[in-house]
Structure 1
Amino acid sequence: MQLGWPRLRVDEWAETRDTLHMWMQIVGKVRLAHTPLINHWWAVALYPTPRGLSTSGIPYGRGMFDIEFDFVDHRLLMRESGGGAREFALRSMPVAEFYDRVMGGLRELGVTSTIQNHPNEVEVAVDFTEDFGHRAYDPSPVHRFWLQLLQAHRGFMEFRSYFGGKVSPVHFFWGAMDLACTRYSGRAAPTHPGGAPNCGDWVMVEGYSGELSSCGFWPGGGEEGAFYSYAYPEPLGYSDAPVSPEAAYYSHEEHEFLLPYQSVRRSADPDRTLAAFLHSTYEAAAELGEWDRAALEVDPRRWEAQQERAWRHARGQGSR
């Protein structure tokens, strides 16, 4: 199955993206309401699936339920472990209607859920029940955005495998609408100052309580979106560190390295181009931040050599 790296201009789906962002916040907040706190808000994220994005299993009573955005058939699926299921088509509709459909569907499944009714990390936070302005939904760009996430997910999963220390899952944060993976040095970080719009400073304090190097992808920061990488706290000299590929640069406005998605898509080997960016920006953070790289990094293919030696020994070739 070859899906490739799709082209999707940011300005091509602005209204749909903004509506989808609100829908994702509603679903994400349901997960937040029912999941115990895990390191740095990892328990609130969504996860890419072969069909779209999912909450994964959410504990409820003695069972669980989940909610999945299907970006292939464009439906929202709600399922509970007793066998019940509800779904509805993803189409143009106000955020207020989407909210009612989600909450109503959960009630029919026996799930009672109460969430904070306004979005976070956006400048204008309209109550979900009163948001009739965000209503656009174009299936084509949404499908291509999901394909972008799949490509980013592949690259991040491969990159994640080189780290043996504390590292987050590859997960989708609905607050900023980005796919991310974060590595930690194991040391505490200075208290984060906060400042995200419509988001309590204490949220960022929890999110950035450990020294880290984080990478991600989001549908902004470039003509077709961008990959990013940043360090917190940012070590001295980080912004001037040499990184790869040539298209990557440090944004003093965003305080992070950026690599335009289209630069990856158009390259001769997108997977290698993305890997160069991820590894070089992490190495800048780890070297300048004096991480214990020998203790934290691993070879993801470390067992292949041992299996080869065992195979050769079994065939009497161990001494050759």
Structure 2
Amino acid sequence: MGDSSVTGTVSADFGEVLPALPLDAWRPTKETLHRYIQIVGKVALAKGIRRNHWWHMTYRLTARGWTTVPLGTATDGPVFTCAFDFFDHVLRISTDRGIQEEIPLGNQSVAGFYAETMRGLRDLGVEVTLPFPTPYDLPDSGRPFAHDEEHHHYDPADGLRAFHVTSQVGRVLEEFSASYSGKISPVQLFWHTFDLAVQRFSDRKVDMDTSVNAVTRESYSREEISAGFWFGDDKVPEPTFYSYTAPEPEGLTELPLLPPEARWVPSGSAHAAYYSYDAARHSGDPVGAALDFLHSAYAAGSRLAGWDAPALACPGGITDPVLGTAWKGWPE
């Protein structure tokens, strides 16, 4: 029999479908961890093979945490991944040469984590220089990671619980994703805004003024409807499911959302649909309530944007119309 023990020293609320994670309860850990994942995200940006809409620099979910995609190229080795493990509470940098480095998440500042991560990469033969080794779109964006001794709090219980929330929400977003057959992103964790999201695209290009920055131009070069979750911040001080359509079609906020607690709210120069994570938790069917929200927001955006939603539908993850009505599993 295999060993089923938990290797970490803390446990999460594995019995809950959507575990509680009030923002204020883990804010110090969140602020430190956010900067940790930005450091590694910038490594992925520098060493990944570029993909449309920046998909090469985001994190994917694993059974133990969050990982980069394989980084490096066939001529610029080694190939490597950087994975946050929230049971062992380390950043594990592994290469295709069978060697790895582990950087502890606790008991060090952002400056210490940055120095250790850069050292670990060098020791593994990975040469990388970050053009902008500073936080992105955070209050201390002008301070280099190497100088940040302020953020140094990492509670292992908080880290594990945050991972468990993303693991469960990730399953919800995968189930939502399964119903769409068009161009769609992976379910991915974005390190700049610390949100878990999936984007559905149409094939229509979006014209933007040349003054629009490069990050935005690539992110929104095609018409899209995004669905996701974030932990909350000073503007939205609670964990929240969200969705938005970009560009926003006229009349979007006049269409209804499900469940009744969901609402349209101003977001920058447009609007987003919000549904409280805790409202989903306290409903009789947390997963069903979250899916109702995501599907209703997509239905509103796709209808007004003129998408052919029936043609793009993929019920149960099946595109073949015959299998869709007769599928009973693989033949013997």
Per the TM superposition, whether the score is higher than 0.5 is yes
Residue by residue, what CA displacement relative to the aligned partner does 1:39-96 show, whole Å, maximum 9, x if unpaired?
1111110111111110131124354111111111211111111011111321032111
Residue by residue, what CA displacement relative to the aligned partner does 1:147-183 show, whole Å, maximum 9, x if unpaired?
1101110011011111111110000000000001000
Shift of 1:295: 2.7
Identify the range of structure 1 (279-288 vs 129-138) with the bigger mean alpha-carbon deviation: 129-138
| 1:216 pairs with one of 218, 228, 239 | 228
Contact residue 191 and residue 208 of structure 1 kept, 8 A: no
Shift of 1:2: 5.0
| 2:140 pairs with one of 111, 120, 124 | 124
Distance 1:91 1:241, change over 3 A: same
Shift of 1:103: 0.6
Residue aligning to 1:102: 117
Residue aligning to 1:241: 255
Shift of 1:8: 1.1
Residue aligning to 1:139: 156
Q: Take 1:131 and 1:189, find their aligned partners in 2: how far apart are those partners?
A: 39
Distance 1:291 1:192, change over 3 A: farther
Residue aligning to 1:172: 189
| 2:240 pairs with one of 226, 232, 235 | 226
Shift of 1:307: 3.4
Q: Gaps (5+ residues) in structure 2?
A: 1-13
Shift of 1:297: 1.9
Matched, 1:67 2:82: yes
Q: Gaps (5+ residues) in structure 1?
A: 195-199, 315-320
Contact residue 192 and residue 208 of structure 1 kept, 8 A: no
Matched, 1:78 2:93: yes
SS of the aligned residue for 2:316 comes to coil
Q: Take 1:310 and 1:100, find their aligned partners in 2: how far apart are those partners?
A: 51
Contact residue 223 and residue 262 of structure 1 kept, 8 A: no
Q: How does 1:231-310 map to 2 (within 5 A)?
A: 231-253=245-267, 255-300=271-316, 302=318, 303=323, 305-308=325-328
Identify the range of structure 1 (257-266 vs 246-255) with the bigger mean alpha-carbon deviation: 246-255
Aligned residues: 307
| 1:151 pairs with one of 168, 173, 185 | 168
Distance 1:91 1:50, change over 3 A: same
RMSD of aligned alpha carbons? 2.1
Shift of 1:123: 3.5
Percent identity over the alignment is 36
Shift of 1:301: 5.0
Q: Take 1:292 and 1:192, find their aligned partners in 2: how far apart are those partners?
A: 28
Q: Take 1:21 and 1:310, find their aligned partners in 2: how far apart are those partners?
A: 43
SS of the aligned residue for 2:204 comes to strand
Identify the range of structure 1 (10-19 vs 167-176) with the bigger mean alpha-carbon deviation: 10-19
Q: Take 1:275 and 1:185, find their aligned partners in 2: how far apart are those partners?
A: 21
Letter of the 1:205 partner, please give it: R
Distance 1:244 1:138, change over 3 A: same
Residue by residue, what CA displacement relative to the aligned partner does 1:228-284 show, whole Å, maximum 9, x if unpaired?
000100011111210101111111245201111101111111110011011000000
Contact residue 49 and residue 71 of structure 2 kept, 8 A: no
Residue aligning to 2:208: 191
Identify the range of structure 1 (82-91 vs 18-27) with the bigger mean alpha-carbon deviation: 82-91
Letter of the 2:278 partner, please give it: Q
Residue by residue, what CA displacement relative to the aligned partner does 1:111-164 show, whole Å, maximum 9, x if unpaired?
111112112122431211111111111111221111110111001101111111
Residue aligning to 2:216: 204
Distance 1:94 1:192, change over 3 A: farther
